[in-house]
Structure 1
Amino acid sequence: MPGHVFRKKTAAVCVGILLIPGLLSGCLADKPALAPEQAGDAGLLAYVTTDKARYSPGDPVKYTLSMNPSEEGGDVIIRYKHLDETVSESTVKWDGAAAEVQWEWKPESADYKGYMAEIYLRQGKEIVDHTNIAVDVSSDWGKFPRYGYLADFMTMDAGEQENTIERLNRFRINGIQFYDWQWKHHIPLKLDGDKPASQWPEIANRLVSYDTVKNYIDLAHSRNMKAMNYNLLFGAFEDAEQDGVKREWGLFKDPLLTSQDRHPLPESWASDIMLMNPANEEWQKYLFAKEKDAFKHLPFDGWHVDQLGDRGVLYDGNAGKLNLPETYVPFMNAAKKAIDVDYVMNAVGQFGQSYIAKTPVKFLYTEVWDAHPQYRNLKEIVDQNLKYSAGSLNTVFAAYMNYDHADSRGEFNTPGVLLTNAVIFASGGSHLELGENMLAKEYFPNRNLSIPDELETSLVSYYDFLTAYQNLLRDGTADKELDAAAAEGTELSAMPERGKVWSFAKEAQGRTMLHLINFTDATTMEWQDNKASQAEPKEIADIKLTVKADGKVKKVWTASPDHYGGSAVGLDFTQKDGELTVTLPKLKYWNMVVLEY
């Protein structure tokens, strides 16, 4: 955990200053302007966090800002913004010695809004430092999901768990998938009599501690994150008949029922996974009863339902041919009726997604595989999911980065990760990637690749951006036809192409957003960046854009997770005969240019 981004908790008592906005705030006339592009970088604002990853309307937001010492104190100025508009400001005095500055802010009561708190340090007449943090005010996490994971549940120190959850909190993660926490797929929680066992082996024979799982759930709840219990909808161990599972509930590869479908696993693991028929009501009754035991003893908020994709031709226990994705609907509806919790279901390579969209899921979740290798495919999946759900459900991708590179020890490739996140976020999706580490494989405990410091720092800005601008990125946002071009050497393209800047437009909240993603130096157009070879794009300066706007534009501004912590920056423009001209100061990976009418 790089120290310059995330601080570890200690037993020391920090000296702090607490401010309730309104006790100390006011006019900033005759003071230096708060322009993020003009702020210094003194390194005095060390780390900022809030007490929760998501807030219900009416909740106060509690900020903690860690400071590096300075001989000179100053004013910590906080500007709270919704999109590019300032909604309030406050100021905290800092003496230069206090290790922490704390304050509270109460957003307006409106639901489903993203905010950016821009934090500046003024010393004398100069703005010497600047940092940002986003805030999500949403009563339901499924509206704007930012999904993370946990995969290690051995006995561990409580402080290690706290650090992991604080890191995810800083990334604004609002839901966590508890991957392979369970004992057996057909009996997720091991019981000793009528009480949970203290520990059990999971399917890979790694030990799971009940106390670790329970403490992680409690820590997640303390940050207003949802804890999702992972399990297949149709998995049973090879010894399941000893536990009351009947073979005739299964899925079979032949009409004579001689070969039950199975998912083979390594010899050292506890079992292969035998596949059951999700539509079989006896199987549903059995599994739901076992899941109820898990929810009774562990306060999970929901069930992350997994599948295994296309299994080919299948038969049920009566030798009838089965359409597997059709069985998802009765299973999920019955599950919701039996266990009224939140549901998410994986569509492996989009398999069955059109059916899943008809079930009571919070959002659509796509695990992306070889059938969708290109950057353009990611946007196509978001668009397809919006059609499946009639625009009502957002998309989360399980998209594993640097996949082949993760066969051995190394680091994630920063340009590959950031370009893929730029495409996912600009398209209106989010990315399941962050947990104790970061995902490179479908087996979540794989930790062969470490996160370089520069990537960790950049990802904070990317997730702040996703949160602060959620109302433009994925709040009823729709594609829009927009004719745009660039002059003087930068070429825009309507589809992602090497050597060009991908340009596409969307509209929401009465605004048009032009997304620009920089592939001018790309070495591959495959999002997974399997060999970790994607090149870092050179920053392009002063891009002169011309846009055919279909109305009189009142204001133009831009924001990028690559610059100024995602702060919005106003742009001068001219408009004549329906053509708008504006100069974008710089483009690294991704910029969003917003036109307001």
Structure 2
Amino acid sequence: MILVALLALVMVTIFVAGIGFGPDPGRAATIPSLDPAKHRYVRHIYTNKAVYAPGARGRLLVTLANPGADDRTVQVVATIHRNTQILDEITNKATIGGSGNVLVDMDFVAPSDGGERGYRVAVTVKDAGGRVLDVAASAIDVQNSPLNARFPRQCWISHWDGKVDAASLIDSQIAWHCNTVQSYASYYRPELAPPPALDSWLSLSNLKVSRSVIRDVIDAAHAANMPVGFFQATGEAYSDWPKQKVRPSLSWGSFRNRCGLTGRCDADDMDQMPQSPDNWRQYGWQADHLDFFDPCNPEWQNFLLTRSIAPMLAQFDYDFWQADTVGAPVQPTFDSKGASLDTVRCLSTFTSGAAKRLKKPAILNNVSGWGMTDAAGKGTQPYLYRETWDFDTPYYPGLNGVIAAIMADMGHRDPRAIVQPGYINRTLAQKCETGARKNGCVVNPPAALLATAMFAIAGSTWMNHPDEGCIMTNVFVEGYHLPCSKALVDGLLSYKAFEVGYQNLLRDGVRDSERPCQMMSGGTGASIGAAGQVYLLGKTMPQFQICHLLNLTGLPSNAWSDLDGTMPAPKAIGPATMKLYYSGAPVRHGRNRLWWASPDHDNGATQLLDYGTGTDQGGNYVSFTLPALNYWDMVVLERDDHSPAS
């Protein structure tokens, strides 16, 4: 959710600027578009569903634009790839009116060659003579796990006033390659579900929440094979809870002093957010602040599940509870008897037990890693969820270290996927919203692209798309977010398609490798991830040795969040000579392929590399020349082994 130190700043900016979601009720959502400066013909590519079961039928929806004044007939070819292999090719013809647009609806069958996988799709537009006019990339996500838990990619929906058509809103999220919806800010009160007869209510920040809109969005998401989770905290109540007819007991509270030793605790002694003297009533909100209860208190747990979570799941067809926290308390807390509280002690067992009771899964937000060791090692959450901040993990190498530590905590269990919300350009967004800054109020592309790459390289996914928005630049989902340029939207769509198309090589039990990759000439790189050089990360999984290159060349800092939005673009390098060390049997030409792919080059297509072989004190290696590096390259050696990753 949101951390105490930052939330108060956000509230001020929301109040100053106000919130608007669209002028016309029921308008169609904005589908993210490719940049006309890069793609003259292809405007949109997305599938009719977020996820397909192996062998299921699907539709690839391609919007074409005609840059000329005369009608034009073109051939559209969609090629489905699994790494270096071509699995299928679908061809359609279309006529585009002069300066017009046309939707090309292409039927396909989801591959069933390898279970749950990602597949890259290349869409090529040719003229009548076969000349290539445009090429763009998309991807197909094939899973049959409940909640799409093998490769989850969550996005937020936080506006429930009906101003945007639900079906097109889900299409927009699919176009961003989201496959799970987090229903944010749809609750009635943190501690209470809405009365069943209530048609609408106000969110904390006084935005209208319509019961029918929630149902419409859930129905549209389910039709697209997207599960929807209900966001609700594990230990919060509005500050006016003592005045409610149905209310929790003060004795279940979490207190910021030892008032219990005197026997005279009241609600003013409770741990709260934001801390006094700040308050939300001055902005016209529903509550002055939030009061915290001890999430480990069994009576509070029973109250929350009985009065809030279970009724909400009964009133709406949610698929899981998105169990939120605000992270570790910023000060010592105590129970109603004055004893010290350790509120992290039960988070995993509470949500695991709640899932059994609710008969629906719970996904716990381990903010800044709070309670993650327990959740990863003992919890029953279908996948893990860690809200990551610049102050808990400030640098690119730390993002990889976070995932490595979680993988270690999981031990020999089947590895579970990891989702990480995070925020960039926050200071810039605050200045732009309040008017302190007038120019340059857009998301900084280098920060967005490098962060998207780094989260994927580490083995998780960056959750960063709110509603129809591009990138989260505000900790409050309903609030103001910096817009993205057309070029950045294009780049992010390419990066997300790359992430899905190669998701098995990125998230399918991939681990850090002890076998390094090295840059011998053409650039400076190392495994430490220092500013000013290429960050080289070796990864391994059965049958594959992988080297990721994240380009920090020319960057003065290796901090990923780029708060002020001043990060420069890295200096492109290449060609570069390299070594990639590997384990297992020696590789041979004609049997073992070496290839590279990048969302920055050739629309993410695989490109074979010539290589030499050798052995030194580091072990067996292949030597090769990498043609180019802009932001992110992935080099893959196909090994012979069928043993566990080394």
TM-score normalised by length of structure 1: 0.88
Give the counterpart letter for 1:372 in structure 2: T
Match in the other structure for 2:24 = none
| Equivalence for 2:85 | 85
2:280 — aligned with what?
266
Is 1:244 the counterpart of 2:247? The answer is yes
User: 1:25 maps to what in 2?
Assistant: none
Q: Whole-Å Cα distance in 1 between the matches of residues 559 and 39 of structure 2?
A: 38
Name the Cα RMSD after superposition. Answer: 2.2
Query: Would you say how many aligned residue pairs link Structure 1 and Structure 2?
Result: 555
Shift of 1:306: 1.0
Q: Partner letter of residue 93 of structure 1?
A: K
Contact 1:54/1:172 (8 A) holds in 2:
no
- Report the Cα distance in structure 2 between the residues aligned to 1:225 and 1:465, rounded to whole angstroms: 20
Aligned counterparts of 2:109 and 2:520: Cα–Cα separation in 1: 45
The aligned residue for residue 182 of structure 2 is 177
Q: Partners of 1:229 and 1:452 in 2: how far apart?
A: 31
Query: 2:170 & 2:556 partners in 1: Cα distance?
Result: 35
The aligned residue for residue 158 of structure 2 is 151
Q: Which moved more, 1:340-349 or 1:548-557?
A: 548-557
1:73 partner SS = strand
Work out whether 1:393 is the aligned partner of 2:396: no
CA distance in 1, matches of 2:56, 2:403: 31
Equivalent residues in 2 for 1:67-82 (5 A)?
67-69=64-66, 71-82=71-82
Q: Report the secondary structure of 1:326's partner residue.
A: coil
Partner of 2:398: 377
Tell me how far apart the structure 2 counterparts of residues 355 and 281 of structure 1 sit (CA, whole Å). 19
Separation in 1, partners of 2:28, 2:163: 16
Q: 1:579 to 1:157 in 2, by over 3 A?
A: closer
Bigger mean CA deviation after superposition, 574-583 or 496-505: 574-583
Q: Which letter does structure 1 place at the counterpart of 2:194?
A: K
Q: Please, which moves more after superposition, 332-341 or 526-535?
A: 332-341
Give the Cα separation in 1 of the matches to 2:190 and 2:614.
64
Deviation of 1:318 after TM superposition, in Å, equals 4.2
Cα distance, 1:270–1:591 mapped onto 2, change above 3 Å: same
| Aligned counterpart, 2:466 | 435
- Separation of aligned partners in 1, 2:494 and 2:218: 26
Q: Write the deviation string for residues 555-594 of structure 1: whole angstroms up to 9, x where unpaired.
A: 1111111122212122222224544221212111000001
Match of 2:341 among 295, 309, 322: 322
Query: Which residue is 1:22 aligned to?
Result: none
Q: 1:293 to 1:548 in 2, by over 3 A?
A: closer
Matches within 5 A, 1:441-520: 441-520=474-553
Return the alpha-carbon distance in structure 1 between the equivalents of residues 349 and 515 of structure 2.
Answer: 42
Q: Deviations over 1:267-322 (max 9, x none)?
A: 33322111112222222222112322211221111111111222243333344432
Q: Percent identity?
A: 24
Instruction: Report the 3-state secondary structure (helix = DSSP H, G, I; strand = E; otherwise coil) of the residue aligned with 2:455.
Output: helix
C-alpha deviation, 1:453, in angstroms? 1.2
Distance 2:253 2:39 in 1: 64
**Aligned mates of 1:516, 1:211 — CA distance in 2:** 47
Shift of 1:61: 1.7
Following the alignment from structure 2 to structure 1, what is the Cα–Cα distance between the partners of residues 523 and 295? 53
Post-superposition CA distance 1:471-523 (Å, at most 9, x none): 10010111112333324440111111122111011112411110001000213
User: Is this contact kept in 2: 1:73–1:96, CA < 8 A?
Assistant: yes
After superposing the two structures, state which structure 1 stretch, 139-148 or 68-77, moved more. 68-77
Kept after mapping to 1: 8 A contact 2:532/2:557: no
Shift in Å, 1:229:
0.7
Does structure 2 retain, via aligned residues, the 8 Å contact 1:43–1:129? yes
Q: Judging changes above 3 Å, is the alpha-carbon distance between structure 1 residues 321 and 389 closer, same or farther for their aligned structure 2 residues?
A: same
CA contact (8 A) 1:439 1:446 kept: no
User: Greater strand percent: which structure?
Assistant: 1
- Alpha-carbon shift at residue 446 of structure 1 (Å): 2.2
Cα distance in structure 2, aligned partners of 1:262 and 1:497: 39
The residue aligned with 1:367 is 387
Q: Find the counterpart in structure 1 of residue 598 from structure 2.
A: 560
Deviations 1:509-542 (A, max 9, x none): 4111100010002132111100101111232231
Partner residue in 2 for 1:20: none
Q: Deviations over 1:155-195 (max 9, x none)?
A: 4142xx444322210111011212222121001x321xx42
Secondary structure, counterpart of 1:498 in structure 2: coil
C-alpha spacing 1:571/1:71, structure 2 compared with 1 (3 Å): farther
Taking structure 1 as reference, are residues 207 and 548 closer, same or farther at Cα in structure 2, changes over 3 Å only?
A: closer
1:95 CA drift (Å): 4.5
The superposition leaves residues 395-426 of structure 1 with CA deviations (integer Å, 9 ceiling, x where unpaired) of: 21121111111112211101011111111111
1:329-340 map, 5 Å: 329-340=348-359
1:226 Cα shift? Answer: 1.6
- Give the whole-Å Cα distance in 1 for the aligned partners of 2:28 and 2:231: 29
CA distance in 1, matches of 2:42, 2:215: 34
Q: What TM-score, normalized by structure 2, do the two folds share? A: 0.82
Measure, in 2, the Cα distance between the counterparts of 1:397 and 1:74. 41
From 252, 259, 284, the counterpart of 1:256: 259
- Matched letter for residue 213 of structure 1: I
Answer whether contact 2:110 2:140 (CA < 8 A) is retained.
Answer: no
Unaligned runs of 5+ in 1: 1-7, 11-39
What is the SS of the residue equivalent to 1:52? coil
Q: CA deviation at 1:42?
A: 6.8
Q: Is the 8 A contact 1:504 1:516 kept in 2?
A: yes
- Secondary structure in 2 matching 1:324: coil
1:54 aligns with 2:51: yes
1:276 is aligned, of 275, 289, 293, to 293
Q: Which amino acid aligns with 1:250?
A: G
Distance 2:250 2:172 in 1: 44
Please say if 1:581 is aligned against 2:623.
yes
Amino acid paired to 1:363: Y
Asked if structure 1 preserves the Cα contact closer than 8 Å seen for 2:354 and 2:362, the reply is: no
Distance 1:190 1:494, change over 3 A: same
1:532 equivalent to 2:565? Answer yes
